[in-house]
Chains A and B, each alone.
Chain A
């Protein structure tokens, strides 16, 4: 019986981790890919001095946000959602939704940044060729995005990898409540503190396995990409 409950809790924790990070990345991709693509397409326009300055500023800002400290994001979201905060009445603090929001803020810049550079690195010749073959601007844009598909997919996987291993942000906004908002990473923290090293290590192994699967997928994609 004890064994069963133990396994059930681990299962619950793992599922929540996957659910929170998965949702964050799913929503993040639907926001980040269009924005990243739109920014990446800017390279096909004329390069005036002002445009170039805007580009540099924008890229630096995106890169900064790509490395946003999770704890800082957690704190901001906490202040937003806490009972006395502006979104307090929504009663979202210490819920998986709050955790998804936290991770969303972290993954969107990653997806934008990686998608942008993937689309930006597609040769101008590809777009020229599409237009020359009779494609409309929209069709040509789609073709460029299609050429960048490996990079776009990479952005999603990298974002998921960052989200699933994140701890500081969701600890603050989720509160690490057993059976409700406890994820692999937050559980490891608390179990370590409690001295339950066997549980902490089991959770660590699961996290490592997920990380390995993510990297395996990424490597396979990259290998297929370099076949050119």
Chain B
């Protein structure tokens, strides 16, 4: 284990197709990253690989032998796989007992458990947390416990669903560091999903783009996201960078689903996975909805104000964060403050892509 072969996998929930003919192979020791908008089927795919769900049709082979999803006891295969879920659901017990869980259900001795759990706490940098109840931990700490919990049994395959989403930067970087370390040192095969393109680029040996249940691209990061990695990398440092899957509208513009229910209309014509950038100076802020021809308008709340001398930079949270620049004078005229409800408006022609 584990060369993983996924062969024309289909999954339906009460008539709705979540996965449509998904096929790919993951080599032993590979880090394979799935990217794609919310609802693309990434989580379902991971749950099928973890044997928590049964595919409607299709085959998954671990090391050449097909997984028997109808088997009554799936623990033998599951025991070789670790999974970290997006929404951490730790057990109502101490951090130590949470991490020890996988070893205890395998019937390991307490002495070796103590040693293994200690090493894991060290790895995720949570020494001294062993006696804390897991439910009192912060989001980042909890996710690191969840990672240690999955890793303590030395799985050959590690599945992770958005492991760093909504984590504090320190926890996120610890998680990333642990992932690349166990892949490098233990040769653990990793299949993970992420929204974070920098993370995908940094960790993945190969990426696959999943959209509406279909694989739309597969290969090395640069091969999938364009041969000019420069602009993408520059984009990533800028504000107002979004990514998602684009669809051509009847008018010939592109409608990009950037997740969280937001769609951005762009004047360019391009389908598939795109990165977007909206220059902060092109964003118009108003306290009332604007009656204009601008195609993109979102209502949000001011969460950050930065004084730049004659200009003021505002961060507006409208599901996603938008950064806008306005003059100090209009800032005062509009009587804006943290928490003010405002409208973010920009033209389709202001939306740039690489």
B105 within 8 A of A: yes
Asked whether A134 is an interface residue with its Cβ less than 8 Å from the other chain, the reply is yes
The answer on a CB contact under 8 Å between B89 and A227 is no
Kindly identify which residue among B85, B89, B105, B133 contacts A134, using a CB–CB cutoff of 8 Å. B105
Interface residue? A132 (CB, 8 A): yes
Q: Contacts A125-B89, A227-B136, A228-B92; is A133 near B75 (CB within 8 Å)?
A: no
Counted as pairs of residues, one from A and one from B, with CB atoms less than 8 Å apart, the total is 64
> Which chain A residues lie closer than 8 Å to B105 at the CB level?
130, 133-136, 139
Asked if B58 is at the interface (CB within 8 A of a chain A CB), the reply is no
Q: How many residues belonging to B are interface residues under a CB distance threshold of 8 Å?
A: 27
A134 neighbours in B (Cβ, 8 Å): 75, 78-79, 102, 105-106, 153
- Chain A interface SS verdict (over half): helix
Report B63 CB to chain A, min CB distance, Å: 18
Q: Is A180 at the interface (CB under 8 A from chain B)?
A: no
A147-B91 in contact given A128-B85, A139-B105 (Cβ < 8 Å): yes
CB-contact partner of B101 in A128, A130, A227, A228, under 8 A: A130
Once the chains bind, are A228 and B52 in contact (CB under 8 Å)?
no
List 27 contacting pairs A-B, 8 Å CB cutoff, sorted by A.
A123-B89, A125-B85, A125-B87, A125-B89, A126-B89, A126-B91, A128-B47, A129-B89, A129-B91, A130-B105, A131-B75, A132-B50, A132-B82, A133-B102, A133-B105, A133-B149, A133-B150, A134-B79, A134-B105, A135-B101, A135-B105, A136-B75, A136-B105, A143-B101, A146-B92, A228-B133, A228-B135
Give me 11 other A-B pairs in contact (C-beta within 8 A), A132-B50, A132-B150 excluded: A125-B85, A125-B89, A128-B47, A128-B52, A129-B90, A132-B85, A133-B149, A134-B153, A135-B75, A136-B105, A228-B92
Q: Chain B: residues with CB nearer than 8 A to chain A?
A: 47, 50, 52, 73-75, 78-79, 81-83, 85, 87, 89-92, 101-102, 105-106, 133, 135-136, 149-150, 153
